[in-house]
């Protein structure tokens, strides 16, 4: 890891229409600086060029905003540097309405002849997606070079909207012809888009570093594709765009962060001050929500970034920086315990999306598994097939992990070394889906004909509040235990619901007798559940699914679990090690999320048409009391303190474990174990 980010960043959007007058007219250096100080901000991303395509400084490579009559970026940049605030500089890369107006032939075009991207209809309000195979890339690279030469002391370049669709513009068609690709075939159009993206990464990164080979750069696609090592060489760091109320939800960031923590790049989490998403003027997230989101970032080993949008007049919004300041004041106090940390994990969650090139944004299996592990307070990392398996006590392969020859060898080695593997659903099947690749201790008899069916786990795996068969809404694999130990029985319904035979409002009930098939099996170091339990939990959220899967997992790990706690499922916990400071940092988090809102129409904006979509809101931060934590550690713990309070608390040592109690905390508490 080379480039180090600061902890408290603002991403200051400034996408500004040419029809708004007096751009930047109310910019005032003192007001700008005071707002950033009020917000405890020490890094702010400012704009060279926006999505509309306008530049905010004099330019020969592009066009300055027609209602701007001075160098706004220079004024912002110098005001920041005067008070030791970093300034990464932003350029919109993938969309540019100025360029599309002057050169409409540079736009992405679908195979149906329509413009592709965010807006296909020429009379729709919105931004125009440009093709990286077209001369637009030359235009963009000249703008990047101009920016880094005008601002050689910039703290990095942020390039936005990095994607390439299945474009069939004249340049893409010519490229496909030269490469022997057939534009009629979707796979060939996808191959062409990959060529365009690779060219984009090479040329824009070269432009960013035309004079300074160490200039930081980040290419934003709205997500980090797991397993894409081929593009990481073009990044100096990662910024994980994840606005919980902007469509990402509160599940997204932990899954992304727990993967990126294993990469050799510093990273930050990017939330927003908005109630909804980018471009929401006059929208304010409750300060408690931002406090929790920033605490979550630090607990997962990330730095922090909060998205804002500057008013076209250039004046900073005072309320926004009071809200940001409430969160960043706490982050500033906690920084000494959050830098240079390594995550402690019992479980490696092998991401199914990392093995499927079409699932860049993640899968239901990944999300559901992450939810279950978080809510069950099991310490874990999210990994891909190239990462080290040996440091985990267990690997989880959720629901639909495809196993190639190289991965098979690594998993065999893991098992030979005493590691454990937890398979669910179709994970572990061979390519033909005809049998398991491993000896799971059961005979495979294909996929169930019934959807849904039911499971009755053995008694120690049953949910805490039912001992009856549980409906499972997705198809199971049919298995019968042979050399393995059964984990319970599958019960079939009387029939699938069709017009010929159906029962009641949903599905038919379970037959009184078990089907003869097992719901799961354990043999030596392999545990298998026949249903895609993680995808089912992601889709339906029933507590019985989490308790069933977590009970199986915890039973399999047994005494090897590093952490035991009485925290409720809505609370979070991570354990980090600061080896250079000889201490562990235990992060406890708690916030109540509630679904609010419904149909949303923002006059043609980003979230227009999100019919029936509720927004997860955090408003009240309630205390948690009488928290018990039991930790297994090989290192001799000398004292335990609550930080940043600096208060020492008592603890007990018993059977190689540390037992401690925390009377009460609100939102976020760091408990530091010194060795």
Model confidence pLDDT, tens digit, residues 413-448: 999 999 999 999 999 999 999 999 999 999 999 999
Count the alpha carbons within 13 Å of 337 in the hemisphere toward its beta carbon. 26
Which pair of structure tokens corresponds to residue 4?
């180090």
Residue with tokens 């694999």: 477
Model confidence pLDDT, tens digit, residues 355-374: 986 665 568 999 999 999 99
In the structure, what pLDDT confidence band is assigned to residue 601 with cuts at 50, 70 and 90? low
212 in any annotated domain: no
**Quick one: 487 and 605 in the same domain?**
no
651 in any annotated domain: yes
Q: Identify the pLDDT of residue 672.
A: 98
Instruction: Give the mean model confidence (pLDDT) for residues 100-115.
Output: 96
Domain boundary, last residue among 560, 595, 613: 560
176 in any annotated domain: no
Write phi, then psi, for 661 (nearest 5 degrees). Answer: -130, 140
For residues 382 and 260, the answer to whether their CB atoms sit within 8 Å is no
CATH number, domain with residue 663: 2.60.40.1180
Q: Identify the pLDDT of residue 385.
A: 96
320 in any annotated domain: yes
**Quick one: 365 and 500 in the same domain?**
yes
Write out the E strands in 394-469: 394-397, 420-424, 442-447, 453-457
What is the Cα–Cα distance from 632 to 660, expressed in whole angstroms?
12
**Quick one: 554 and 577 in the same domain?**
no
**Quick one: 368 and 440 in the same domain?**
yes
**Quick one: 229 and 318 in the same domain?**
yes
Angle between helices 249-260 and 364-375 (to 10 degrees): 90
Q: Please determine, for residue 611, whether its predicted confidence score (pLDDT) is greater than 50.
A: no
Which region among 82-96, 222-236, 500-514, 598-612 has the lowest average model confidence (pLDDT)?
Answer: 598-612
Number of domains in the chain: 3
Instruction: Give the mean model confidence (pLDDT) for residues 185-202.
Output: 97
Domain boundary, last residue among 339, 365, 391: 339
Q: Please determine, for residue 600, whether its predicted confidence score (pLDDT) is greater than 90.
A: no
What is the Cα–Cα distance from 197 to 186, expressed in whole angstroms?
17
**Quick one: 358 and 507 in the same domain?**
yes
Residue with tokens 């699932």: 359
Q: Identify the pLDDT of residue 250.
A: 93
Q: Identify the pLDDT of residue 597.
A: 76
Instruction: Give the mean model confidence (pLDDT) for residues 301-318.
Output: 98
Domain boundary, last residue among 284, 308, 339: 339
In the structure, what pLDDT confidence band is assigned to residue 552 with cuts at 50, 70 and 90? very high
Q: Please determine, for residue 609, whether its predicted confidence score (pLDDT) is greater than 60.
A: no
Which pair of structure tokens corresponds to residue 316?
């900073």
CATH number, domain with residue 413: 3.40.50.880
In the structure, what pLDDT confidence band is assigned to residue 35 with cuts at 50, 70 and 90? very high
- DSSP classification of residue 314: -
**Quick one: 581 and 665 in the same domain?**
yes
**Quick one: 504 and 544 in the same domain?**
yes
For residues 637 and 653, the answer to whether their CB atoms sit within 8 Å is yes
H/E stretch holding 55: strand 54-55
Which pair of structure tokens corresponds to residue 472?
């499972």
For residues 274 and 307, the answer to whether their CB atoms sit within 8 Å is yes
* 49, 51, 55, 109, 387 from 18: Cα distances, Å: 13, 12, 11, 25, 48
Write phi, then psi, for 62 (nearest 5 degrees). Answer: -135, -145
In the structure, what pLDDT confidence band is assigned to residue 615 with cuts at 50, 70 and 90? confident
149 in any annotated domain: no
**Quick one: 537 and 395 in the same domain?**
yes
**Quick one: 545 and 573 in the same domain?**
no
Residue with tokens 């679990």: 561
DSSP SS3 for 618: strand
CA 452 to chain centre: 30
Closest CA to 33 of 22, 41, 25, 24: 41
What is the Cα–Cα distance from 666 to 655, expressed in whole angstroms?
30
Which region among 343-347, 592-596, 656-660 has the lowest average model confidence (pLDDT)?
Answer: 592-596
Model confidence pLDDT, tens digit, residues 255-270: 999 999 999 999 999 9
Instruction: Give the mean model confidence (pLDDT) for residues 640-666.
Output: 96
Q: Please determine, for residue 526, whether its predicted confidence score (pLDDT) is greater than 90.
A: yes
Return the bridge partners of 499, or none: none
What is the Cα–Cα distance from 456 to 348, expressed in whole angstroms?
27
Q: Identify the pLDDT of residue 57.
A: 98
**Quick one: 358 and 480 in the same domain?**
yes
Q: Please determine, for residue 336, whether its predicted confidence score (pLDDT) is greater than 90.
A: yes
Closest CA to 477 of 445, 504, 512: 445
What is the Cα–Cα distance from 54 to 51, expressed in whole angstroms?
8
Q: Identify the pLDDT of residue 614.
A: 72
For residues 594 and 620, the answer to whether their CB atoms sit within 8 Å is no
Which pair of structure tokens corresponds to residue 90?
């932003």
Average pLDDT for the chain = 95
What is the Cα–Cα distance from 255 to 248, expressed in whole angstroms?
11
126: alpha, beta or left? (left if phi > 0; alpha if psi -120 to 50): left
204 in any annotated domain: no
Q: Identify the pLDDT of residue 505.
A: 96
CATH number, domain with residue 54: 3.20.20.80
**Quick one: 334 and 406 in the same domain?**
no
The pTM of this model reads 0.95
581 in any annotated domain: yes
Q: Identify the pLDDT of residue 356.
A: 81
What is the Cα–Cα distance from 533 to 378, expressed in whole angstroms?
17
- CA-CA-CA-CA dihedral for 497, 502, 507, 508, to nearest 10: -110
Write out the E strands in 351-452: 380-383, 394-397, 420-424, 442-447
Domain containing 609 equals 564-674
Give 44: exposed, middle or buried? Use CB within 10 Å, 0-12, 13-18, 19+.
buried
3-state secondary structure string across 142-155: HHHHHHHHHCCCCC
Which pair of structure tokens corresponds to residue 643?
């930080």
125 in any annotated domain: no
Return the bridge partners of 447, or none: 477
Return the bridge partners of 107, or none: 130
Which region among 25-34, 265-274, 329-338, 350-359 has the lowest average model confidence (pLDDT)?
Answer: 350-359
What is the Cα–Cα distance from 341 to 580, expressed in whole angstroms?
9
């Amino acid at each position: 890891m080379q480039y180090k980010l600061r902890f408290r960043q603002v991403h200051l959007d400034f996408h500004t229409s040419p029809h708004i007058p007096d751009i930047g007219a109310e910019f005032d250096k003192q007001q700008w600086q005071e707002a950033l100080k009020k917000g405890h901000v020490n890094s702010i991303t400012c704009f060279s060029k926006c999505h509309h395509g306008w530049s905010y400084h004099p330019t020969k490579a592009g066009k300055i905003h027609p209602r701007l009559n001075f160098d706004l970026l220079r004024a912002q940049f110098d005001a920041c540097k005067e008070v030791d605030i970093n300034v990464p500089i932003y350029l919109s890369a993938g969309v540019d309405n100025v360029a599309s107006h002057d050169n409409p032939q540079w736009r992405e075009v679908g195979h149906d002849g329509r413009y592709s991207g965010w807006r296909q209809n020429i009379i729709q309000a919105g931004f125009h997606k440009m093709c990286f195979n077209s001369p637009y890339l030359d235009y963009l690279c000249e703008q990047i070079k101009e920016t880094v030469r005008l601002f050689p002391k910039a703290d990095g370049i942020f390039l936005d909207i990095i994607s390439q669709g299945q474009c069939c513009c004249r340049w893409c068609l010519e490229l496909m012809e030269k490469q022997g690709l057939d534009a009629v075939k979707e796979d060939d159009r996808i191959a062409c888009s990959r060529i365009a993206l690779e060219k984009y990464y090479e040329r824009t990164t070269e432009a960013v570093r035309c004079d300074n080979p160490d200039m930081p750069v980040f290419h934003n696609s709205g997500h980090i594709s797991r397993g894409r090592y081929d593009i990481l060489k073009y990044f100096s760091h990662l910024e994980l765009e994840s606005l919980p109320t902007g469509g990402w939800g509160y599940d997204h960031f932990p899954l992304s962060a727990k993967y990126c923590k294993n990469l050799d790049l510093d990273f930050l989490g990017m939330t927003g001050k908005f109630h909804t998403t980018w471009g929401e003027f006059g929208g304010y997230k409750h300060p408690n929500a931002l406090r929790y989101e920033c605490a979550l970032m630090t607990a997962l080993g990330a730095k922090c970034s909060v998205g804002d949008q500057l008013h076209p007049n250039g004046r900073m919004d005072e309320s926004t920086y009071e809200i940001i300041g409430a969160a960043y004041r706490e982050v500033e106090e906690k920084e000494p315990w959050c830098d240079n940390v390594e995550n402690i994990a019992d479980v490696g969650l092998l991401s199914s999306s990392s093995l499927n090139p079409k699932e860049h944004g993640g899968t239901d299996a990944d999300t559901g598994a992450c939810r279950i592990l978080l809510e069950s307070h099991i310490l874990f990392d999210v990994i891909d097939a190239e990462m080290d398996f040996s440091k985990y006590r267990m690997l989880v392969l959720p629901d639909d992990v495809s196993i190639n020859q190289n991965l098979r060898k690594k998993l065999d080695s893991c098992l030979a070394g005493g590691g454990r593997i937890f398979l669910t659903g179709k994970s572990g099947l061979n390519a033909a889906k005809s049998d398991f690749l491993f000896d799971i201790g059961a005979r495979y008899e294909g996929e169930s004909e019934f959807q849904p069916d039911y499971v009755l786990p053995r008694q120690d795996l049953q949910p805490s509040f039912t001992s009856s068969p549980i409906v499972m809404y997705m198809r199971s694999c049919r298995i019968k235990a042979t050399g393995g130990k059964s984990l319970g029985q599958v019960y079939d319904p009387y029939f699938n619901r069709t017009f010929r035979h159906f029962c009641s409002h949903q599905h038919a009930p379970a037959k009184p007798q078990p089907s003869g098939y097992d719901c799961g099996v354990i043999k030596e170091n392999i545990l298998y559940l026949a249903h895609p339990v993680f995808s089912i939990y992601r889709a339906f959220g029933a507590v019985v699914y989490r308790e069933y899967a977590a009970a199986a997992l915890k039973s399999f790990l047994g005494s090897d679990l590093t952490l035991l706690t009485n925290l409720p499922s809505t609370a979070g916990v991570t354990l980090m090690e600061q080896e250079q400071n000889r201490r562990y940092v235990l992060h406890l988090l708690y916030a109540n999320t509630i679904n609010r809102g419904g149909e949303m129409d923002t006059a043609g904006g980003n979230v227009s048409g999100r019919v029936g979509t509720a927004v997860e809101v955090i408003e009240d931060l309630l205390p948690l009391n009488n928290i018990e934590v039991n930790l297994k550690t090989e290192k001799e713990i000398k004292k335990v303190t609550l930080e940043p309070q600096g208060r020492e608390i008592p603890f007990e040592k018993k059977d190689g474990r540390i037992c401690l109690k925390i009377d009460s905390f609100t939102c976020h508490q760091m408990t530091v174990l010194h060795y």
